[in-house]
Amino acid sequence: MTGDRRPSEKENASQIGTAAPSVASPAAASPVAADPDLADPDLADPDLHELYRDLFENGPAAYIAASPDGRIRRVNRRAVELLGYSRAELMGRPVLDLYPEGPEGRGKAEKLATSECRDEELLMRRAEGEPIWVSLTVRLVRDGEGRVVERRGILLDVTERREARTALKESQERFQRIFDHSNDGIFLLDPRSERIEGANARAAEMLGYAREQLIGLPLESIHPGEMPGLRAFFQKVLDEGEGWTEELTCLTKEGRTIPSEISAAPLPSEGGSQVVAAVRDVSERRRSERALRTAVEELEAFSYSVSHDLRAPLRAIDGFSRMLLEDHGDHLDHEARRLIGVVRDSTRRMNALIDGLLALSRLGQREMTVVPVDLAELARAALDELRAGDGEEEVEARIHQPLPAHGDPTMLRQVMVNLLSNALKYRRPDTPPVIEVGSAPGEDGPVFHVRDNGMGFDMAYVHKIFGVFERLHSDDGVEGTGVGLAIVKRIVNRHGGRVWAEGTPGEGATVYFTLPVGEARSGW
């Protein structure tokens, strides 16, 4: 054992010679010969005596013999190893010194000091102070007049067994707490008899039964008409050895049906495998899904209305304003023509706002296709498109190669278009734009960034930067609707990532975002 104190061979030999009776006297030497009930007619045989001696000294159990007043007379090799003392240190030591203070140690040992016992568990203390648990069996040896002449104890180290038992008990208590207080209904089921063998309070509440009424209840009572599918489900759980999820309908005691989701796993037991099933009432989720579908339909109707009904008057305003300038411009003074130009610019801006609003509203409706993508390729394509549209040739683009990620290619291309467009729009006058697209390691994967040397922004307003129709540079002559970064945020959120920005006025800005693998979300 680790940390044992082992005497030298010379010391051990001298201790064995002084602590144990002489081999020349088999009746005295044998630990069993003093007991007439255990006397062996062949004990005088030296070979048999040597066998007893060997069993005593080298057996797997620790052996301690003590005088009537509790002082140690004999110990075997295993006792020396178990307790960590040398044999000389144990000889004559009071047995009670081996137990620490407390009810599980010395307190219990004192109660057993004058009696026999079998398999009593006590706490002992090794020489270096380490506590150990032992299973103790004690036999009292008496003389012809019934007086105790020796106390013989056998000790087995049960520390690991006790720790395992304690861990098992704690695990069972944790399971019981989860079982009793879970927000889901939990059932213990026998797939052979197709009956309920246990249920928690939530299960009883959900189905409208008293808890004891559920015990022994046939599953057919709460899943009428679904037993063939349920049998196949349980068989799959038992065959695969892991939990699966199915959607079923539960019937309450009052006859009301509940849409439910069931997760099950096999639970080995003495009589065979049980199935533990967690059943969740998804009625509220179904209602929420219906409400969401209704909201989406209303949003689609709103988008249609915005797209058609609101654009019509804007087209009329813009068209009549243009006709007024073309047909009667010569009769209007400079101020009148300026005002008509303001009207036309406002209608174009309104159209741009409607386009942004529609793009934002449609973003949550389209399905996502998550595949491996290279953001560097998307950035190059987006930049080429922006250069072609604006005739911009002076951009210095520093795009790291490659930038692997997972996501919807169409959506992530829109992210790059919006971020690069922002970087170009908010350039500093007379300063050639420099844009960097790259990444750096982060706690949950790569952190991507788009950095520019443009106007930058004051960090006091950073909370506004991703808001809808929010613009931090409203009087700088830069065209925009304030929807671009809001769209970026929605797309990144749908991918399960996050986005944030840093900037310094007059020095530039950096937008950071993450795209965790497998975190794509539906809806908004």
List C-alpha distances in Å: 342 to 54, 336, 339, 348, 349: 112, 10, 5, 10, 10
For residue 520, pLDDT over 50 is answered with no
Report whether pLDDT(377) > 90: yes
- Give Cα separations from 11 to 60, 95, 239, 429 (angstroms): 22, 22, 61, 94
- In a 3-state reduction of DSSP, which class is residue 136? strand
Kindly report the CATH number that applies to the domain delimited by 9-164: 3.30.450.20
Q: What CATH number belongs to 182-281?
A: 3.30.450.20
Shared fold status for 9-164 and 371-514: no
CA dist 264 and 244 (Å) reads 6
The pLDDT of residue 522: 43
Over range 290-299, report the average pLDDT. 80
CA 387 to mean position of chain CA atoms: 47
Statement: residue 15 has pLDDT above 90: no
pTM over 0.75: no
- Collect all residues with Cβ–Cβ distance below 8 Å to 402 and sequence separation of at least 6: 374, 376, 377
What are the pLDDT digits (tens) for 346-364? Answer: 888 777 777 767 776 666 6
> What confidence tens digit (pLDDT) does each residue in 56-95 have?
888 889 999 999 999 999 999 999 999 999 999 999 999 9
What is the distance between the alpha carbons of residues 519 and 524, in angstroms, rounded to a whole number? 13
Check pLDDT > 90 for residue 48: no
Of 17-21, 138-142, 361-365, which gets the smallest average pLDDT? 17-21
Q: Where are the domains of the chain?
A: 9-164, 182-281, 286-363, 371-514
Q: Packing angle between helix 283-305 and helix 334-363, nearest 10 degrees?
A: 150
Q: Under CATH, what is the fold of the domain 371-514?
A: Heat Shock Protein 90 (3.30.565)
